[in-house]
Amino acid sequence: MEAAKRFGRIEPVAAAPSAQIELGRALYWDTRLSADGKTACASCHSAYDWGADRRSASIDARGNPTRRNSPTVFNALRQPMLRWLGDRGSGAEQAEGSITGSMGFRAKDEILPLLRQSDYEAAFRAAFPGEAEPVSTRNYGRAIAAYEATLVTPAPFDRYLGGDAAVLTARQKAGLRLFIERGCAGCHAGALLGGSAWMRFGVVKDYWLATGSARIDEGRYAITRKEEDRYVFRVPMLRNIAKTAPYFHDGSVPTLEAAVRVMASVQLGQTLGDDEAAAIVAFLESLAGDVPANYAPPAQRP
């Protein structure tokens, strides 16, 4: 099967609960650990939005909009790089970096007194035994990453790749063929259908201008200052894509069908017919799994 060669299956996570995972879960949902006392990691990654944010931009603990739309956290740690610019190399780095980002602190160490005041010290010692000072921003990031690694969402497409041909409808199978034949799988490959390559949105600048968008973003150029990185972004994974509108880094496209048409046009130079666009959308719907059962606050905080 050609699809099995191009893509790959996601399997359920069989990891046993651990002190580190449970600590990370508590930290992830705790609004007390922010500059305003109202913001948690989960604030930008709603369960109702399949771990993403239906707002074009999230609001951080300073009351400011984030620069880019928040991608889903589900399956995210299986990517080799994170965020739209690929500027975080691990879940631990991302979580620790969020202390001075979405959590609103001026310096990372400002979260440490709050961790102790919120009775987390015993949980950190259990999660990181043998460390002289387990309550640290590094371990904060490591614990949250351990929890996020459990947020995996196997979908009907995985059962199809495993041999259950009946799990996809005829339209979804037609959409899969089009997805491959039209070249979408050139960037959106692997088990996540994306997440590990770069795409140039230079031609999308014309789309932004034509639609009156005021959020033209220079992409990785903002980090590297290299001209070849202007308008370059990480290719997003397509897992749960049907559940995580709006689309693109600026959240400028409200529907999946519109996003499919835009990408076919500006990235592949193609115009899709109505039936073709609908079939591809139907295929993408088969990539949606269930919200993980543990994607909720723990019954008790440490």
pLDDT for 201? 63
Q: In terms of domains, do 178 and 116 share one? A: no
Q: Is residue 229 assigned to a domain?
A: yes
Boundaries of domain holding 134: 13-148
d(CA 10, CA 160): 11
pLDDT for 198? 77
Residue 107's SS3 state is coil
Please give the chain's pLDDT, 302 residues, in tens. Answer: 788 889 999 998 876 789 999 999 999 999 999 999 999 999 999 999 999 999 999 999 999 999 899 999 999 999 999 999 999 989 999 999 999 999 999 999 999 999 999 999 999 999 999 899 999 999 999 999 999 999 999 999 999 999 999 999 999 999 999 999 999 999 999 999 998 877 766 545 555 655 555 567 888 888 999 988 888 889 999 999 999 999 988 888 999 999 999 899 888 889 999 999 999 999 999 999 999 999 999 987 66
Q: In terms of domains, do 222 and 242 share one? A: yes
Q: In terms of domains, do 22 and 100 share one? A: yes
Q: Give the domain CATH number at 46.
A: 1.10.760.10
Q: Is residue 7 assigned to a domain?
A: no
Q: In terms of domains, do 193 and 225 share one? A: yes
In the chain, how many domains are there?
2
For 15-40, b/e burial (b = at least 16 CB within 10 A) is: eeeebbbbbbbbbbbbeebbbeeebb
Q: In terms of domains, do 127 and 200 share one? A: no
Which pTM value belongs to this model?
A: 0.93
Identify the residue whose tokens are 């969020």.
98
Q: In terms of domains, do 180 and 220 share one? A: yes
Q: In terms of domains, do 60 and 94 share one? A: yes
Q: Is residue 302 assigned to a domain?
A: no
pLDDT for 208? 60
Q: Is residue 298 assigned to a domain?
A: no
Q: Is residue 37 assigned to a domain?
A: yes
